[in-house]
A = this chain, B = another copy of it.
Amino acid sequence: MSGSSFGEIFRVVTFGESHGPAVGCVIDGCPAGLRLTAEDIARDLRRRRPGGGGPATNRIEADDPEILSGIFEGRTLGTPIAVLIRNANHRSSDYDNLRDLYRPGHADWTWEAKYGFRDHRGGGRSSGRETAGRVAAGAVAKTFLAERGITLRVWTSSAAGIAVPGPAYENIDWEEAERNLLHMPHRESAERALAKLEELRRQGDSAGCTISCSALGLPPGLGEPVFGKLNARIAAAMLSLGAVKGVEFGLGFAASKGGGAALNDRPLPAPAETAWAKDLPPDVPALTWRTNNAGGTLGGISTGMPLNFTVAFKPISSVSRKQQTVDRGGEIRELSIGGRHDICAAPRAVPVVEAMTALVLADLLLLQRCAGV
């Protein structure tokens, strides 16, 4: 969790600026023997890619990943897996006027305050483009999770203030989510949100959203006590996305308003067919819970219930409407950001949240092997 590096055992470093030659990642610590092809990675990169409609930018990126190392005859070697994604479509001159301007809501100035200078073209390293490397790494992690029967369900739970009707995480209509442009598991909400987004676009404005995740099939015991809690790692992963302003697990902020008598999930003996029951240590009974207010962890360790959390994305900071800002000389200036910009993080944030979740879980699955003698 230093700079561009993430993970303890399943360690990832991502690299690349938005308008440099390439972005990508290196995974050091992926176990050997995992079946993997470039197409497994390409598939997720396509989901992250801007589409032709909806709230996403029109920038066309081929995003064909090249696996440079770590795979031999279709299986991981245990060596670093380097993935290269060329930046095919850069028109850097689009950004010449931004060299000496600090865009509101962007990291332009904080970057200069930190490093003294920056690559101003398209946000450089703080561009959303950087997440392509995360998605590539996450695709590898997902193949590892899949082998263990773990599935990640990630969806847009609200956009532009229009939310999927409640109770969160329950009775999610996955088919609908995969069908509509916003990846929202409720058709009517999706239609209303798309209409609202179109209206905001016409007004030169942008929108925020929330993305929710449910990780299914997690065995109990994942997460390290104290600082390495499952929740702590997920929270770090989510807040490592530039536009994220909050994260909550299970009932989340609503839990701060209730009482323990009502909100404590009640344990029950787990059904006999529970997949992970046979892997429990001796003398530990298999449990389940009547409710999942906790969102899948107790004391930061997974319970075997779905891991449920929701992430808040602020509105896209680039808006075509005129904004006031300051230039390098300290003068107040007006700025209108044209060009190809998303106006809402959804739905492109969906595979990114999924990828980061996969990276956390892959790492914790490996660490869990070291828990006992």
Contacts and interface: CB of A to CB of B under 8 A. Distances in A.
A21 to B, nearest CB: 5
A32 B373 contact: yes
A239 B228 contact: no
A192 interface: no
Given A32-B115, A161-B258, 6 more contacts: A1-B227, A2-B224, A3-B225, A13-B80, A111-B299, A205-B261
Given A70-B15, A245-B249, A261-B321, A299 B126 contact: yes
Contacts of A63: none
Interface residues on A, range: 35 or more
Interface in A1-30: 1-6, 8-9, 11, 13-17, 20-24, 26, 28-29
B13 A301 contact: no
Residue among A125, A226, A236 facing the most chain B CB atoms (10 A cut-off): A226
A340 interface: no
B281 A80 contact: no
A13 to B, nearest CB: 5
Copy count, this protein chain: 4
A124 B268 contact: no
B69 A20 contact: yes
A369 B365 CA distance: 11
Interface string A226-264: 111101111111111010111111111101111111111
24 contacts: A2-B228, A2-B367, A13-B28, A16-B82, A77-B117, A79-B124, A84-B84, A109-B220, A110-B221, A110-B299, A112-B281, A112-B284, A113-B280, A114-B221, A130-B226, A204-B261, A206-B260, A232-B239, A235-B247, A242-B299, A246-B253, A256-B314, A264-B317, A269-B332
Contacts of A115: 32-33, 77-78, 281, 371-372
Contact of A15 (B68, B105, B116, B325): B68
Interface in A51-95: 66-70, 72, 75-82, 84
Contacts of A110: 220-221, 297-299, 301-303
Nearest to A303: B110
Nearest to A320: B261
Given A225-B3, A227-B3, A264-B105, A368 B114 contact: yes
A194 interface: no
A164 to B, nearest CB: 13
A4 B80 contact: yes
A351 interface: no
B227 A240 contact: yes
Contacts of A109: 220, 267, 284, 287, 298, 303
A200 to B, nearest CB: 6
Interface string A315-329: 111110101111011
A80 B14 contact: yes
B119 A224 contact: no
A373 to B, nearest CB: 5
Residue among A67, A102, A245 facing the most chain B CB atoms (10 A cut-off): A245
A337 to B, nearest CB: 10
Contacts of A204: 261
Given A227-B5, A245-B295, A26 B11 contact: no
Interface string A274-302: 00000011111111000000110111111
A356 B282 CA distance: 33
A68 B20 contact: yes
